[in-house]
């Protein structure tokens, strides 16, 4: 398995991967804006084929959020998701200065908590429960 990591994602690649896992889709204008305002992004290719993506949005200082961590179904359970999250974590860590701290948040889809725990994230539903709201017009 020849794995390559890239730090850019095209609109077409973004839509291809999120649609492959059944995520909500977006128009091209929204994707351009979203990727343009993304702190860090990662794309993984396996043997020259697009396998997965992930990105980080945030304020570059105190808080950021993992988003769109997606591996195409045919490439799942091969360690690609972990490669994506670890690369994003590395990029975030490089931006945190000595003496500073930054929180990485995420809202896992049900059943994926163990995956994120393997990537080092804390899961304490008795202390913190993630919540979300879609604004749709
Ligand atoms: C969640 C997702 C990104 C995981 O990617 P992946 O490439 O299949 O995960 P990996 O192969 O890197 O898994 C790493 C480890 O986590 C475990 N793991 C992965 N998904 C898991 C799950 N749902 N439940 C329990 N363990 C899981 C793997 O078994 C592996 O463990 P190991 O190191 O002991 O073998 C992928 O399944 C996906 O894209 N799902 C659909 C989209 C989605 O829901 N994304 C998350 C949005 S919050």
pLDDT in tens, 19-29: 999 998 999 99
CA distance 114 to 107: 13
Q: Above 90 in pLDDT, residue 129?
A: no
- For ligand 1, say whether the CB of 22 is within 6 Å of any of its atoms: no
Q: Which of 30, 40, 38, 31 is nearest to 10 (CA)?
A: 31
* Neighbour-count burial of 120, counting CB atoms closer than 10 A to its CB (0-12 exposed, 13-18 middle, 19+ buried): exposed
Residue 95 CB less than 6 A away from ligand 1? no
- Counted residue by residue, the chain has a size of 137
Task: Say whether pTM exceeds 0.85.
Answer: yes
Q: Looking at the domain that runs over 3-107, which CATH code has it been given?
A: 3.40.630.30
Dist. CA 13–CA 63, nearest whole Å: 26
Determine the Cα–Cα distance for residues 31 and 109; give it in Å rounded to an integer. 21
Ligand 1 pocket test: pick from 89, 118, 123, 130 the residue with the most ligand atoms within 8 Å of its Cβ: 118
Contact of 25 with 11, CB cutoff 8 Å: no
Determine whether the shortest distance from the Cβ of 85 to ligand 1 is under 6 A. no
| Ligand 1 in reach of 81 Cβ (< 6 A) | yes
Tell me the pLDDT band of 31, cut-offs 50, 70 and 90: very high
What number is the average pLDDT over the span 44-48? 98
Neighbours of 128 (CB within 10 A): 10
Q: How many angstroms does the Cα of residue 97 sit away from the middle of ligand 1?
A: 30
For 83-133, strand residue ranges (E) read: 103-105
pLDDT at 78 over 90: yes
């Amino acid at each position: 398995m020849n794995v390559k990591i890239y730090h850019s994602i095209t609109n077409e690649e973004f839509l291809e991967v999120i649609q492959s896992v059944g995520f909500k889709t977006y128009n091209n204008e929204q994707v351009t804006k979203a990727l343009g305002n993304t702190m860090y992004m990662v794309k993984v290719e396996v043997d020259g084929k697009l396998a997965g993506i992930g990105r980080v949005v945030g304020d570059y200082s105190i808080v950021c959020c993992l988003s769109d961590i997606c591996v195409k179904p045919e490439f799942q359970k091969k360690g690609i998701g972990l490669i994506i999250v670890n690369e994003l974590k590395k990029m975030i860590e490089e931006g945190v200065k000595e003496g500073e701290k930054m929180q990485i948040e995420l809202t896992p889809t049900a059943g994926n908590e163990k995956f994120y725990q393997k990537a080092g994230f804390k899961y304490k539903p008795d202390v913190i429960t993630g919540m979300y709201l879609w604004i749709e017009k």
